[in-house]
């Protein structure tokens, strides 16, 4: 039997998921290694790029330009895309390992963390995941409805996703018309009545997770002013110790921005974005639908960088017609792969997936399903490289798969009626979307249903 990773027997790797971490893993395998490797990249949608397409905000087109890098990786010898294939439903892990020597899971963190509060399921209470997927034209969220006829919207959480949601609600709709935002979202946002947007953090300004460039944008919107309560910017000694540490430089920049926001004179903008600290939601109230969120005032306890929010018993009722929980994403299990329900990740060491502390031969993880939902797109590159280093180091010991044949995989999928979409076909969908956007001055009008994507193919 020839050695795996040689021209006589290339190493066959399936990558499950086509977001940034999947593409960086493909790059490390195909363009940055000396081994002879074949990569089949699977995605459950006919469209690639994961959160770059379905998560990055439509008014952040520069961030999306990273797609050009992924296109170059996809053009490498040895790369194939199998879009519209749901691993775990259309084909199972036990079947994939018949045809690939290694599987790399790059399937991200697809769901959201719950708050586990009374009233969380009232109409009007949503997850940020749904809203973001909806305005970005992700087919899973096309049929979601958001009633923006109310005056005030509350967002729980202070990460960059929460800031994205706030900004989309606060931005004058005309400024979104020339982005790739889904038309259905533009129509609803055009009729929005929301004037007061609350970004609620359970801890203080020094602990907020958003990053300075994203916070700064909240202060630069037309016809919306940021509102900060000066008393909430007072810094206790433990938070001051965080600021004095080099690791606190991001927080220092945030604090300067927040102080500048707090010093602005009251204005006459039609919208306001209230950035509030030291408050946790304890109940969502309403009869037929949400109308109030009850917040409990917190104080902080603990060592620098480990401070926890502790309730003080003091509560405040905030009227609110719509609420978005933006308290972090969670990974979902795939049958046949070890899963840690506590962290929502595939347990792993340096990307090698483990069961009861032992590496499972041939199974690897990259990105958010490996490390949890943190970091920006660029963080995925070293993360994926680490996993690929582990995989290549293992390749001498990996049991070669019994049927090293992609045609057999395609036959199996065809026998199940799965319409596999290749990268050239994605290009056709892409061109059709760009064409649909042209008359509106948009970079593209996305297809928001898989059936419409497939109908665009010859």
Shortest distance, position 82 Cβ to ligand NAP, whole Å: 27
Give me the least distance between CB of 113 and ligand NAP, in Å please. 6
**Cα–Cα distance between 162 and 430 in angstroms, integer?**
29
Q: Which residue has the tokens 């340096």?
A: 350
Nearer to ligand NAP, 138 or 352 (CB): 138
Nearer to ligand NAP, 329 or 423 (CB): 329
Bridging pattern class, strands 279-285 and 292-301: antiparallel
Nearer to ligand NAP by Cβ, of 53 and 203: the residue is: 203
CB of 56: closest distance to ligand NAP in angstroms? 7
Q: How far is the CB of 347 from ligand NAP (least distance, A)?
A: 20
The conformation of residue 364, written as its DSSP 8-state character, comes to E
Question: On the CB side of 78, how many CA atoms lie within 13 Å of its CA?
Answer: 23
Nearer to ligand NAP, 50 or 157 (CB): 157
DSSP one-letter string for 274-310:
EEE-SEEEEEEE-SSS--EEEEEEEEEESSTT--EEE
CB of 132 to ligand NAP, least distance (A): 8
| Minimum distance, C-beta of residue 81 to ligand NAP, in the bound complex (Å) | 25
Reading the block at residue 30, the tokens are 């195909």
Residue nearest to ligand NAP (CB): 159
Interior angle at CA 423, CA 422 and CA 429, nearest 5: 95
Taking the least distance from each CB to ligand NAP, the nearer of 14 and 51 is 51
CA-to-CA dists, residue 324 to 109, 319, 454, angstroms = 18, 14, 32
261 in Cβ contact with 180 (< 8 Å):
no
Of the pair 46, 201, the CB lying nearest ligand NAP is at 201
Helix, strand, coil percentages (3-state) for the chain, rounded to 5, are: 35, 20, 45
**Nearest to ligand NAP of 101, 296 (CB atom):** 296
* Interface contacts to ligand NAP, rule CB under 6 A: 115, 156-162, 164, 201-203, 207, 209, 214, 280, 326-329, 373-376
Distance of CA 413 to the CA centre of its chain: 28
Residue 282 CB-half CA count within 13 A: 16
CB of 368 to ligand NAP, least distance (A): 8
């Amino acid at each position: 039997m020839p050695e795996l990773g040689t021209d006589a027997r290339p190493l066959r790797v399936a990558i499950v998921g086509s977001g940034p971490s999947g593409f960086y893993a493909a790059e490390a395998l195909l363009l940055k290694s000396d081994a002879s490797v074949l990569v089949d990249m699977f995605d459950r949608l006919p469209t690639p790029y994961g959160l770059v397409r379905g998560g990055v905000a439509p008014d952040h087109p520069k961030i999306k330009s990273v797609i050009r890098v992924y296109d170059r990786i996809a053009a490498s010898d040895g790369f194939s895309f199998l879009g519209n294939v749901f691993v775990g439903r259309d084909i199972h892990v036990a079947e994939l390992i018949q045809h690939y020597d290694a599987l790399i899971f790059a399937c991200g963190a697809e769901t959201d963390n719950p708050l586990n509060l009374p009233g969380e399921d009232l109409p009007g209470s949503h997850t940020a995941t749904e809203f973001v997927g909806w305005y970005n034209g992700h087919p899973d969220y096309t049929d979601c409805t958001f009633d923006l006829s109310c005056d005030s919207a509350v967002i729980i959480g202070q990460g960059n996703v929460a800031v994205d949601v706030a900004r989309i609600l606060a931005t004058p709709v005309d400024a979104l018309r020339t982005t790739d935002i889904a038309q259905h979202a533009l129509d609803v946002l055009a009729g929005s009545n929301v004037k007061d947007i609350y970004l609620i953090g359970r801890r203080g300004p020094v602990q907020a997770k958003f990053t300075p460039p994203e916070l700064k944008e909240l202060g630069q919107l037309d016809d919306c002013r940021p509102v900060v309560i000066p008393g909430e910017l007072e810094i206790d000694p433990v938070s001051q110790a965080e600021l004095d540490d080099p690791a606190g430089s991001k927080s220092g920049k945030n604090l300067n921005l927040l102080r500048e926001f707090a010093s602005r004179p009251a204005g006459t903008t039609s919208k306001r974005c209230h950035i509030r600290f030291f408050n946790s939601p304890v109940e969502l109230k309403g009869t037929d639908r949400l109308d109030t969120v009850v917040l409990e005032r917190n104080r902080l306890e603990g060592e620098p960088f480990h401070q926890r929010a502790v309730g003080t018993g003091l509560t405040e009722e905030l009227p609110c017609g719509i609420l978005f929980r933006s308290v972090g994403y969670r990974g979902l299990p795939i049958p046949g792969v070890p899963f840690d329900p506590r962290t929502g990740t595939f347990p792993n060491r340096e990307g090698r997936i483990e069961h009861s502390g032992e590496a499972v031969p041939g199974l690897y993880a990259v990105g958010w399903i490996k490390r949890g939902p943190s970091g920006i797109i660029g963080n995925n590159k070293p993360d994926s490289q680490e996993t690929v280093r582990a995989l290549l180091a293992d390749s001498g010991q990996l049991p070669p798969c019994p049927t090293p044949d992609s045609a057999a995989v395609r036959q199996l999928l065809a026998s199940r009626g799965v319409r596999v979409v290749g990268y050239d076909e994605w290009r056709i969908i892409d061109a059709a979307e760009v064409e649909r956007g042209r008359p509106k001055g948009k970079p593209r009008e996305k297809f928001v249903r898989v059936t419409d994507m497939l109908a665009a193919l010859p």
